Amino acid sequence: MSGEVKIVACVNLKGGVGKTALAVNFAAYCGMKNLKTLLIDLDPQTNATFSCISPEDWQKHAAEHGTVADLLGVRNHASAEGAAKDPASVIKRGVFQNVDLIPSHLDLFTIDLDLGAANARETKLRRALKDIVDNYDIVICDCPPNLTVPTQNALALSTHYVVPVSPDFLSGLGIALLLTRVAKFSDELESPIEHVGIAMSRVGRPSYYRAQTMESLRTTFGDKVFQTEIRERSAVSEATSKNVSVFQMNDKDAANEFAALSAEILAELGL
């Protein structure tokens, strides 16, 4: 790795806060801005994968070329080592303009059991992709809602991370814990992982504590909270089911919000 490429993990301990929506649409935005972009789906739920490609395309690609599970050595639970495929072949090219995808696989659900005793299991992805990431301007990792082995692999690869937060009471609670844990992980790996910011997402979803949570996040984390707020809009989930980004939907407001947030993130990354 040359150190030039920006590698950004989308993380939060909480589920359903818009991590995948941000990872996918931020990737699409980067591609539209002519940045050569790699999106890596590290969530066994495979939501980012199926936001970009159809289940049929995934099935064919997984059978012929493999998925992120191959890079982590857990394909079909073969063994803790597995039979890793050529990392370059695992990449599905051109899912959006200038965006490539490393798809995920359900096998990741049990990776913590499968790799329980494996040495250096949290750096498997980094080692598998060491000759690949320099081909890109930006790499974006979508993570599951926890800090288990897939997220650890994303963080070990990453130079930066963003935290999408849905402004309900419970979403706000884990953020300080998350920031502390990532800082500790970064120290232990002796690999800087910079916190880029907190993105307020799915704003407008009915939520009793919304106003208090948003105010408290802005008070606690100050300018670490991005200015742009992503509102709850049906175009966002509809885009997912159509395997397109929000920029290809007929909703200017949704597109404008994701563009503005993406521009804020790129500015923080110096891109």
Ligand X SMILES: Nc1ncnc2c1ncn2[C@@H]1O[C@H](COP(=O)(O)OP(=O)(O)OP(=O)(O)O)[C@@H](O)[C@H]1O
Binding site for ligand X (CB under 6 A): 15-21, 43, 45, 47, 145, 201-202, 230, 232-233, 236-237, 240
The residue assigned the tokens 């498997």 is 124
Query: Closest CB to Mg ion among 20 and 49?
Result: 20
Sites for Mg ion among residues 26-55 (CB under 5 A): 47
Does residue 22 contact residue 262 with C-beta atoms inside 8 Å? Answer: no
Element (H, E) at 231: strand 225-231
Find residue 162's DSSP bridge partners: 10, 197
**Residue 201 makes contact with Mg ion by CB under 5 A:** no
CB 27 within 8 A of CB 92: no
Look up tokens 């923080």; give the residue.
268
Residue pointed to by tokens 């990532």: 182
Residue number with CB closer to ligand X (87 or 202): 202
Is residue 20 involved in binding Mg ion (CB under 5 A)? yes
Identify the DSSP state of 232.
Answer: P
How far is 233 from 87, CA to CA, in rounded Å? 36
Nearest-approach distance from CB 94 to ligand X, in angstroms: 22
Interface residue with Mg ion, options 7, 9, 12, 19 (CB under 5 A)? 19
Binding partner at 82 among ligand X, Mg ion, none, C-beta below 5 to 8 Å by kind: none
Question: Nearest approach, Cβ of 164 to ligand X (angstroms)?
Answer: 6
Residue 233 binds to Mg ion (criterion: CB under 5 A): no
**Which residues are near Mg ion by CB under 5 A?**
19-20, 47
